[in-house]
Structure 1
Amino acid sequence: MEFEEVVQRLKYSINQPLPGKEAQMRMSPRPVNLSRFDPKLPPNHRKGAVLILIYPQNGQAFFPLIKRPEYPGVHSGQIAFPGGKMEEDDESLTYTALREAQEEVSIDPSKVEILGKITDLFVPASNFLVSPIVGISNEIPDFVPEIREVQRIIPTQVSQLISPEINKTTILEINDQIKLDTPYFEIDQEMVWGATAMILGEFIQLLEKGK
């Protein structure tokens, strides 16, 4: 999809009622962990934000995904958007998303136009309420991965998301007791699942609504 078309669709649809939970659930592992959607979140939950940054490359719309390095933690090696925890000094979740994107992949906040926020998603495994922030850049960012937090950056073409060839399912064995029927996107030979896929599920519906 062309950059200008994607921008116009998002500018329209992000100011309409959001697809929300139902769009997210389309890409949720099954059985669905309904605690993700409980309006009463744990009192000790943490807030975080991620940035979905749309930028042009050869006239087409792209956004960056990142691969986390291997580490002792629940999101080790997973594919994600740039983003992270809201710090006490952060003035807003938008600020958090931009700060983290700058720290992780060197996106320049001054060159990002924020379009808005889509539906929050609670991630039980890490106790985070994640706010996806959508922004645009009129030029290709000069990406540089922060080696401790980012194994690699994956430039992703928006039009890929609506290609049925990348939308797949698998049985994911979390441990001996838990097996999940997991929808995912196969992007650049990587499995994009869980919260990132669920956020993308809503993002795709925003593009559809903006036609």
Structure 2
Amino acid sequence: MPRKSWVSQLRPQKIPFRRRFARASVALIFRKTEDGGKELLFIQRARRAGDPWSGDMAFPGGRLQSEDASARAAAQRETLEETGIDLSRHGRYLARLSDLITRHHSRWRPMVVTPYVFEWRGPKAVSPNHEVERAVWVPLDYLAAGENQSQLPWRTPLGTLNLPCCHYLDSCIWGLSYSMLQELLEMISETGRELEP
């Protein structure tokens, strides 16, 4: 009997009653390099006053709108708006990761975020819009290496927390993006498979 691929083995955690919450979705997009490696796309958010995640590294995505047919469609639409990457034309959908809970940018209401994994097979150029300061392709091997994992001190009224993160050049990947990345890397490691459907 043939071994199942890592996508078919994936069993993401879906938050119960998620449709009753505000929802957002993001796209984890990887591409193959000429030397046979793989890179994952991150965006650095534009710096804006009042935005708690201003300047942070993230995956492209955003909130669901009434015209979106699904959370995955929202991730594709937001990716096109933010980066110019058209996943419906040159992307190959691979998997859905687990739901995560965060909050609205401007209020403390909960919001459910759903990540989707795609392979990019289109042009190399990325065209960030006003919401994005820059787009960065990071080697997957670098993201998986233990020596590149670190901690980010985060001050709270109760003291300082040391949050797990990954530094790349002058950027820091942490928070929800780091959690999504770790689930992706763990899934690949557990199944012993490459990013293939």
**Aligning the two structures, in what range does the TM-score lie when normalised by the shorter sequence?**
0.7 to 0.9
Matched, 1:52 2:33: no
Give 1:114-153 correspondences, 5 Å limit: 114-124=93-103, 126=105, 127-146=110-129, 148-153=130-135
Structure 2: unaligned runs, 5 residues or longer? 193-197
- Give 2:43's aligned amino acid: I
Task: Identify the structure with the greater strand proportion.
Answer: 2
Aligned length: 182
TM-score (norm 2): 0.83
Distance 1:188 1:137, change over 3 A: same
Structure 1: unaligned runs, 5 residues or longer? 1-10, 22-36
- Give 1:138's aligned amino acid: R
Structure number with the bigger relative contact order (C-alpha 8 A, sep ≥ 6) is 1
Q: Secondary structure at the match of 1:104?
A: helix
- Give 2:138's aligned amino acid: T
Counterpart contact for 2:26–2:75, Cα < 8 Å: yes
Counterpart contact for 1:19–1:205, Cα < 8 Å: no
**Deviation at residue 138 of structure 1 after TM alignment:** 2.6
Q: 1:163: which partner in 2?
A: 145
Counterpart contact for 2:12–2:99, Cα < 8 Å: no
Deviations 1:116-166 (A, max 9, x none): 2111111146432111011112345420110x2001111111111221221
Deviations 1:32-81 (A, max 9, x none): xxxxx8x57795x3111100111122222112101111111221111100
Matched, 1:98 2:76: yes
**Deviation at residue 209 of structure 1 after TM alignment:** 2.2
Instruction: Give the ranges of 4+ consecutive aligned residues of structure 1 lying more than 4 Å apart after TM superposition.
Output: 39-43
Q: 2:195: which partner in 1?
A: none
What's the RMSD between the two structures over aligned residues? 2.3
Aligned equivalent of 1:12, options 5, 12, 34: 5
Distance 1:206 1:159, change over 3 A: same
Q: 2:38: which partner in 1?
A: 61
Counterpart contact for 2:12–2:96, Cα < 8 Å: no
CA distance in 1, matches of 2:81, 2:17: 32
Deviations 1:154-196 (A, max 9, x none): 111111122122101132124x445222110112221111000
Q: Percent identity?
A: 24
- Give 1:149's aligned amino acid: E
Counterpart contact for 2:6–2:187, Cα < 8 Å: yes
Q: Secondary structure at the match of 1:152?
A: strand
